[in-house]
Every structure is written in C-alpha cells, then in structure tokens.
Amino acid sequence: MPQSPAITFRNVHFAYGEDQSARCILDGIDIDIPQGQVTALMGASGGGKTTVLRLISGQHRAPSGEVHVLGHDIAKLSHKQLYTARRQMGMLFQFGALFTDMSVFDNVAFPLREHTQLPEVMVRDIVLMKLNAVGLRGARDLMPAEISGGMARRVALARAIALDPALMMYDEPFAGLDPISLGTAAKLIRELNDALGMTSIVVSHDVQETLGIAQHVVILADGKVAVQGTPDEIRNCTNPLVQQFIGGDAEGPVRFHYPAPAVSDDLLGQANAHKRTAT
C-alpha cells in the first residue's frame, strides 16, 4: 500500500502585495511530495520555489488553499504548535548562515541546547557524530572564518540534522561551490536522506547535479506546476518550457525581459513628451 505524501499543496494561491498591486507567485498549485525521497523543486528565478519552502515552514500563510506538512495543516497551527512542528524540520540556507562568533562545534550544538535538556556529554557525542557524517569531525574547534565556503555549508548541514528532522529543506545548496565541493554536497544530501529515512526538498538551479540525486521532481513556471514526476520523466517531457529549462536555452517560453511597455513607448515617448513640454 503506497504511503501518503509527506507534503501536499491543494489549490494554493499566494501573492506579494495587496489589492491590484499584488504580484501573483503561486496560482492554484497542487503538489505531492513523497515520503522518504529527495524531491527537486526547480524552475526559473522568481517562479515561487523559495515561497513554497516558506509556506511549508509556516513563515508565510497561504490566503487560500491547503498546505499539509507531516500530518499538520500548517495554516491552522497556533504559534506554539508551529514552533513544535518546526522541530521536525531542518533547513539548510543558501550560504550556511553559521553564527560567526561560535565555533564549528557550538554551531552544531546550538539546536540541541536550544530545544532539548540533554546533558553536555550527550550533546558532545551527538555533535561529533553529525560532524563525522559530513566529514568535519576534525574541524570542531575552528571558527567559521577559518573554514572554506564548502566546509561551512557542510557544518550548516550537520547543524540542520542535529535534531534528526523528518523533513530537510535545502535552498540553493550548490550555489557558489567548486565542482568538487558541489559533488560532495550532492552526494551527502542523498546519502543522509537514505540513511536517516528523511524526506528532502532541494531547491536548485543546478539541473544535472540535482536530477542526479532526486527521485521526484517538481518544476514551477508562471505560478503553476509545469510538470512533476521522476527525473527520467522530466528529461523526456515534451513541454517546451521544461525542455528550455533542462537545456538552459536562451530562447523559449521563458523570456529574458520582464513584461514592460515597448521601448519606443517607454523611452522615446517620454522624450517626445519632454520636447512638447519644452516648446
């Protein structure tokens, strides 16, 4: 019997702004994110990927539609209930977001000290286990300024999994990494997901690396779900927008220019208006 999805979006709408000035980001989307798998959330910049993460974590509330996360209707949770639900979630921010005045060890220990009453001897063992999982147990006493960007991302990952979350979210985990660090980070995401039995969501523009570790893919475009399925289904999809995104083509449904008036109307029209005013 198939498992129910870890996360479901049903007819979810979301916009930034109010009334006529509102900028629609999500226009009635439906998403199913399967349990225990790595799901890639992809699409062009500004397509709503980070907004989806914020809706999942309760940072934003959808004005209409339903968002269910690990059995919780996020919109109906009180502040206290949401805080408790977030203990089941881990988040890896784009550039790590380590506390710069704390050592590597103390960064990873922070959520354990904040959310549990574990004695320090147990905190130490858990921190070293998590650092060992990302290959940085020997860097425990270093400060964030003393490690590379790729290492900082791995420390942040160790911190994110310190409480053994059921759900991990990654916001552009490969941004700014060299090819070796990128490959290491991708491998870690998949290995940790499988070893810990988590559900993972990876927001990334790195198409090939992400499709290489994902088991499920969702591509957003124009406020809608363009397609969702396995990596092979995405690669073989005939949707022109999906093909443009996968191939990185400059020409296609996704335009380089944000919608605007014609150049002649916007620039020359204004110049002509100034001339008429001057005369």
pLDDT digits (tens, 9 = 90+) for 68-104: 998 889 988 888 888 888 888 888 877 668 888 999 9
Q: Which residues contact 35 (CB under 8 A, 6 or more apart)?
A: 3, 4, 5, 6, 199
Q: Which helix (H) or strand (E) holds 26?
A: strand 23-33
How many residues would you count in the chain? 279
CB contact at 8 A, 189 and 215: no
Listed range (71-80, 231-240, 257-266) with the worst mean pLDDT: 257-266
Does the structure show a pLDDT above 80 at 105? yes
Q: Is 64 within a domain? A: yes
In a domain, 211, yes or no: yes
Is 2 inside a domain boundary? no
Q: What is the pLDDT of residues 178-194, one digit of tens each?
A: 787 778 888 888 988 98
Note the pLDDT tens digit of each residue in 14-37. Answer: 887 665 456 788 988 999 999 999
The residue type at 250:
A
Residue 224 falls within a domain, yes or no? yes
CB-neighbour burial class of residue 162 (10 A; exposed 0-12, middle 13-18, buried 19+): buried
State the pLDDT at residue 216: 94
d(CA 90, CA 135): 19
- The whole-angstrom separation of Cα 180 and Cα 150 is 9
Q: What percent of the chain has pLDDT over 70?
A: 86
- How far is residue 170's CA from residue 56's CA, in Å, rounded to a whole number? 12
Q: How confident is the model at residue 215 (pLDDT cuts 50, 70, 90)?
A: very high
CATH number, domain of 111, equals 3.40.50.300
Residue 223: CB atoms within 10 A of its CB come to: 17
Give the tens place of pLDDT for each residue, 123-162: 999 999 999 988 889 999 999 999 888 888 889 888 988 8
Cα separation, 273 vs 166, in Å, equals 61
Cα gap 82→76, rounded to integer Å: 9
Does residue 157 sit within a domain?
yes
Which band of pLDDT confidence, cut at 50, 70 and 90, is reported for residue 270? low
Task: Determine the average pLDDT of the residues in 118-123.
Answer: 94
Tokens describing residue 120: 């320090």
Is residue 54 pLDDT above 50, yes or no?
yes
**Which pLDDT does position 20 carry in this prediction?**
47
Whether residue 167 lies inside any domain: the answer is yes
Q: How many domains does the chain have?
A: 1
Q: What percent of the chain has pLDDT over 90?
A: 27
Q: Which domain holds residue 258?
A: 7-278
Is residue 180 assigned to a domain?
yes
Q: Tell me whether residue 83 is in a domain.
A: yes
CA distance 168 to 122: 23
